Every structure is written in C-alpha cells, then in structure tokens.
Structure 1
C-alpha cells in the first residue's frame, strides 16, 4: 500500500515562500539595473525580509545571481532539448540545444557574463553554484545524446565533442571582445566552429 504524501509543514512553506520572494525580487532588480548596480539591501527590501534572513538563503550577491539565472537556464535547457528532438542533422540539433541557452544568457549581458564568471570561479560547495555546474553537465549530456544519433560518433567521442562545444559556447558568451555581439552573431560564430569539428 502506497503511503499518502505528507503535508508540508508551516516552517517549510514559510521557507519556500521566502525563497520565491527572494528569487523574484533579485530577478526583477538584476534585470532592471544589472547585478553590479543592485545591493543586497535593495533585494531584502523588495522581498520584504531582513538582510540577515536574506543571507540565510544566499551568502553573496553572486549566489543570488546564480539562483536567479539557474531557473532561467533550466527552462532554456528544456526548450533546447525539445527543439532538438525532431532534428536529424547533428549540427542543427546541437544548435537547437544551444540557442535558448545563449538567448537566456544574453537577456542582460552583464548579468549573463557575471553568471558565467561565478560558475568558473565560485565556490563549488555552495548549492546554487553546484546547481549551475550540474546544468552545464546536463547541457553537455544533451549535446552528446544528439551527436550519438550519428553512428560515426562513439559515446566517448560524443562526450568529448560535447565538452568542446560547451567550451566554445561559454567563451563566445563570456569574452569581452564579443560583448556587443547579438545572439545571432554569437550563434553564427559557435556554429562555424562546431561545423569544423564535425565530420562531413
């Protein structure tokens, strides 16, 4: 006999409510002003909590950005996987996965670049950082999966190529020399690099 799910207690509901308010407040302020021009006090005020409470959920502004961007990244990855489902050409399928990831990273360019910097240099023991690293790995796994539809790619080669593709995408979004590039320009550059890697 299956056990009925236990109701969530008041304390857990309050914690979830506060987390949602923090995420919404930080997301709105970061989108409007950019992460560098928002203070933790502003986020706490908008979420209607004290700064001490805010720091129980995220110790730094970087962690708050990870929290906000991770939720967008999750949605982008779901969208990209779905778009790649019906595409047989490996390059087109890979680009279908990548497009929404690049788009969500470029909604607010400084936030997107700071998010990428946090992934590289942040504390991997911090939970939102761990989530971001997991999303990066899931992206590579999705790319490797579509590459393996082509029998020219062994699982090992597909995984290696997916890792290289991830690095290309990351650098194209993060590098200062590309800061003024549009989403389509970044995607064209990424596509050109990936095309050279794939057998003709």
Structure 2
C-alpha cells in the first residue's frame, strides 16, 4: 500500500508564499523599469517582506534576475525545440532553436544583457547561476541534435559547433554595438555566422 505524501507544513508553505511574492515582485519591477533601475528595497517592499528576508532567498539583485530570467529561458528553449522538430533544413532548425532565446533576451534589452553577464561571470556553485549554465548546456544539446541531422557532422563536431553557435548567440545579443539592432537584424547576423559552420 503506497504511503500518502506528508502534508506541507505551515513553515514550508510560508516560505513558498514569500518566494512566490519575491519572484512576482522582481518580475514585474524588472520588466517595468529594467534591472539597473530597481533596488532590492523596492523588490522587498513590493513583495511585502523585509530586505533581510529577501537576502535569504537571493543574495544579490543579479541572483534575483537569474531567478526571474531562468524560467523565461527554459520556456524559450522549449519553444525552440518544438519549432525545430517541424523544420527539415539543418540551418533553419538551428535558427528555430535560437529565435525564441534571442527574442526572450531582447524583451527588455538591459535585463537580457545583465542576465548573460551574470550567467557567465557569476559563481557557478550558486544554484541560480548553475541553473542558468544548465539551460545553456541544454540549448547546446538541442543545437547539436539539429546539426547531427547532417550525416557528415560527427557527434564531437556537433557538440563543438553547438558551443560556437551558443557563443555567437551570446555575443550578438550582448554586444554593446548591437543594442540598437532589432531581433530580426540580430537573427540575420547569427544566421550568417551559423551558415559558415555548416558542411559544404
């Protein structure tokens, strides 16, 4: 006979409710004002908690941004994977994976650029940074799978090329010189670079 799951205690429920309020507050404030214009005090006030409590959940504003953006990036990656399934061309399949990630990153440009910086330069041992890096690894795996549709691309070559595509995507979306570019212009730039990587 299966054991019934233990009910969640009041303390755990309170922690989860606070966490949910923090995420909702940070999501709304970052979307409205951008990460650079929001203070941790504003997030704490909106979540109706003290700043000390806020720092129990995230030590920095960068970690809060990772918390918010990681969920969005997972959704973008899932959309890209689904879109790639229906595309026969290798290049188009790779770009189907890349497109929603770039769109996600460009929804609020400063947030996207800060997220990428936090992801790359943050402490990989910190759980939210680790989760961001895991999303990158999953994106590279999806890109490698699309590249392996071409039988001339070996497993190792696909992984290396996927890593290069990831770097191209990062640089194209994060570079200061590209701040004024539209999503379509960035995608065209990425597409040109990815096309060079494909076997002839």
Shift of 1:149: 1.9
Aligned to 1:5: 5
Shift of 1:137: 0.6
Aligned to 2:23: 23
Shift of 1:66: 0.6
CA distance in 2, matches of 1:157, 1:2: 47
CA distance in 1, matches of 2:145, 2:13: 38
Cα RMSD, aligned residues only: 1.0
Gaps of 5+ in 1: none
CA shift digits 1:96-127 (9 cap, x unpaired): 00000000100110110011111111111111
Shift of 1:146: 1.3
Shift of 1:3: 3.5
Aligned to 1:32: 32
The structure-2 alpha-carbon separation of the partners of 1:25 and 1:196, relative to structure 1 and needing over 3 Å to count, comes to same
Gaps of 5+ in 2: none
Q: Normalised by the size of structure 2, how large is the TM-score?
A: 0.97
Q: Normalised by the size of structure 1, how large is the TM-score?
A: 0.97
CA shift digits 1:54-98 (9 cap, x unpaired): 000000001001101111101101111111112121110000000
SS at match of 1:177: helix
The answer on 1:58 being equivalent to 2:58 is: yes
Aligned length: 200
CA shift digits 1:153-179 (9 cap, x unpaired): 111111001000000000000110111
CA distance in 1, matches of 2:14, 2:155: 45
Aligned to 2:95: 95
> Would the aligned equivalents of 2:81 and 2:142 in 1 still touch at CA under 8 Å?
yes
> Would the aligned equivalents of 2:153 and 2:199 in 1 still touch at CA under 8 Å?
no
